[in-house]
A and B are shown apart, each in its own frame.
Chain A
Amino acid sequence: MTKSSFSNIQSEYLALIDHNKCVRCKRCIQNCGWGTYSFGGDKILADHSKCVACGRCYTYCPEGAISIVKNPTVLRENANWKEGLIKNIWRQSETGGIVISGMGTTFKYKKYFDHILLDACQVTNPSIDPLREPMELRTYLGKKPSRLDVGLDENGESVLKSKMPPQIELQTPFIFGAMSYGSISLNAQKAMALAARALGIVMNTGEGGLHDDLVPFGKNIIVQVASGRFGVHRDYLNSGVAVEIKIGQGAKPGIGGHLPGEKIGADISRTRMIPVGTDAISPAPHHDIYSIEDLRQLIYAVKEATDYEKPVSVKVAAVHNIAAIVSGIVRAGADIVYIDGYTGGTGAAPNIIKDHVGIPIELALAQVDERLRDEGIRNEASIIAAGSIRSSADAVKAIALGADAVAIGTAALVVMGCHVCGKCNTGNCSWGITTQRPELVRRLDPEVYGERLYNLISAWSHEIQEVLGAMGVNSIESLRGSRERLRGVELTDAELKALGIKHAGL
């Protein structure tokens, strides 16, 4: 077929410059990763079609001369034929491609966290003042023994006789979710590594191997093994505090990953241990795992390779039968199960999957916690909840629904300047986050953003202490799975049942 260059898709945003304020410093030209601006001899010109509203140019314009507005030229409103649907038809008819984008779904599904309210103490049981009383946020991730043997040592002191399975010690119940070097920049990973070390928490390499610069941060790193096995070798498995086997991701359950060859430069090639310029394809399933028994085999292959010294985590997307799936994973020997809800982020995924596959993390968590308790195996593994944890309130609710800790991904990138424009797949991120272009990566200072990540998690931790105090609980572990302390509003009976909570007022 002959290709036509004519496109029906009009600019989504307009990059407007107030030429009276503009001093022609050209910083916007330099800052925009998508090449919106150019210099026209006497003034800045803008190619609106390139703007994705990433927010970089106006943040860095010294004169406040830039505004990014939604293109006022509208498509006629139609609740059935929504703008996005019409544009995708144009896009696909022009290219024949599967529509992909970065970040999580933009669909407006019900957000259950926003319909859950927390309890507080009044009169009959006093609240605790977190500024005065100790308030424990420390969390241990890993298998907890179902019985403990205690004995006496030679001095007659009581000692623990049972050998504790390996644990990850977190000073606060947050971790950074898996984001690979390749999907994000090394500087973005370094910012998380610095923050994780300062906070006493962990980050996760994702399926991109471990860059040499991150090796010293091993005590604060979980290394990942996914279907492409990129960068996975014996020393890698032993270089972090735990190993995570990635089966699925909330943004793209059931499908693999694909880092295009143009993003595989020398440094990423070395870290992933694949040649420069080839596509890094992660197959949809691990082709050595077609059953729970096969998963058990890989879990124990990893345990053997790490001498049983590291907890093994298994990451799955929240899907319809998640409770039964997690029960199987726990029985397969996982020490930690990471459940990623359908609103979780990604570097790139087909919209058809992102927008239509999976279930909310809130419902998944409640069902999983319930099921594992019913089966008497809740102690066998810790649960990490993820899939757009947007605030400390989401975190507290997730823990009360049954999680041991939560993982944040998008929120951490927002700290680094991300405006959730969803164009991570293009590799042009103006903020230096989801790009490998050196001139863009350089602008992300790991020290600066490491400190801001530290600030965010510290602030969220203080907020959690406040809430715990209000609920009269002095340790985060006592809140885990306390659904009695939650109430629902604007939820149907079926939703309340799935969440295992009562309606407010009851």
Chain B
Amino acid sequence: MITIDAAGMHYKELNRLIREGIGKGIKKFFLENINGQYYIGDGIKGDDVVININGTPGNDIGAFMDGPTLIVNNNAQDNIGNTMNAGKIIIKGDAGDVVGYGMRGGRIYILGNAGYRVGIHMKGYNEQLPIIIIGGKVGSFFAEYMAGGIIVLLGLDDSDEFDGDYFASGMHGGTIYLRKKIDFSKYSKDVELYEADENDMNFLKKYLIEYADSFNIPSEEISGKPFYKIMPSSARPYAHLYTSA
């Protein structure tokens, strides 16, 4: 275990200390006085490494990350979990734009809202199944080009508007679960809406419990309602777009 006081520290130094610590076999990190430092957890490895972040981290936390857990006890900013391969990111507040871009594995749990461009080009591969669960609402361009994995939108604050424009355009893989039905006329023509069935709920259960536990929310508060799911109409949305010269 190590505590790093990051007050006034440049991200390059901070991340070097983290990498060095992991190299020495340290498993638990407490980062204090974090104030906008970028790239925390970028490209690090190790399934049992846990980094607690106190303060508000800067952009690009967990980029290319492969195993560790990042816990942000506050809001976080843009580009969380960019092209992440494995691991877990827990945000006990709101997240900014571009969450989980090109993410291939691991989980991102956000207590509050997330911004624009969440889950773009998320993809699954073999047993790698990336999962994003968002407690509040999201902005526009949600799940654009989504190719795999799972995103769950809970809308826990029970406001009506919890999705933005250009929802799931170009989606060609993966599944989106919603705790509330949304205005279907706004959906991209690339997706279909279904009611989630028992299989879906059984599959989700484990992740919803883990989510609830991460934020100390009673899990009944989440799963008490029927869920909906959105899946792509085709795995090949652009198959007939071209003709050979």
Contact = CB atoms under 8 A, between A and B. Distances in A.
Interface of A: 88, 91-92, 94-101, 225, 227-229, 232-235, 237, 258, 260-261, 269, 273-275, 277-279, 281, 283, 287-288, 297-298, 300-301, 304-307, 348, 350-351, 422-423, 425-426
Interface residues of B, number: 51
Contacts of B177: none
Interface in B109-123: 117, 120-121, 123
A283 B121 contact: yes
Interface string B65-93: 11000000000000100110100000000
B101 A229 contact: yes
A234 B19 CA distance: 13
Nearest to B66: A234
B125 A305 contact: no
Interface of B: 11-12, 15, 19, 38-39, 42-45, 59-60, 63-66, 79, 82-83, 85, 98, 101-102, 104, 117, 120-121, 123-126, 128, 141, 144-145, 147-148, 170, 172-173, 235-245
B245 to A, nearest CB: 4
Given A274-B125, A301-B60, A99 B117 contact: no
Contact of B101 (A287, A300, A306): A287
Contacts of A277: 235
12 contacts: A97-B242, A100-B243, A287-B121, A288-B79, A288-B98, A297-B60, A300-B60, A304-B15, A307-B19, A350-B242, A351-B245, A425-B242
Which 9 A/B pairs are nearest by Cβ-Cβ distance?
A: A305-B43, A97-B243, A229-B102, A101-B245, A95-B243, A304-B42, A301-B63, A273-B125, A233-B85
B49 to A, nearest CB: 13
A100 B242 contact: yes
Given A228-B102, A234-B66, A306 B43 contact: yes
Contacts of A234: 43-45, 64-66, 85
B38 to A, nearest CB: 7
A91 B147 CA distance: 31
Given A300-B39, A304-B43, A233 B83 contact: yes
A225 B83 CA distance: 10
Given A278-B235, A281-B145, A287 B98 contact: yes
Contacts of A91: 243, 245
Contacts of B244: 99-101, 423, 425-426
A225 B43 CA distance: 14
Q: By CB atoms of chain A within 10 A, which of B15, B144, B172, B245 has the most?
A: B245
Contact of A288 (B101, B172, B235): B101
Contact of A305 (B42, B98, B102): B42
Interface centre among A88, A297, A350, by most chain B C-beta atoms within 10 angstroms, is: A297
Given A99-B244, A99-B245, A261-B235, 13 more contacts: A233-B64, A273-B128, A277-B235, A279-B236, A281-B121, A281-B170, A287-B98, A287-B145, A300-B60, A301-B39, A301-B60, A304-B12, A426-B244
Given A97-B241, A229-B101, A287-B98, A304 B39 contact: yes
Contacts of B63: 301, 304-305
Nearest to A232: B83
Given A278-B147, A297-B38, A304-B42, A258 B238 contact: yes
A351 B245 CA distance: 8
A156 to B, nearest CB: 33
Contacts of B242: 97-100, 348, 350, 425
A350 to B, nearest CB: 8
A429 to B, nearest CB: 13
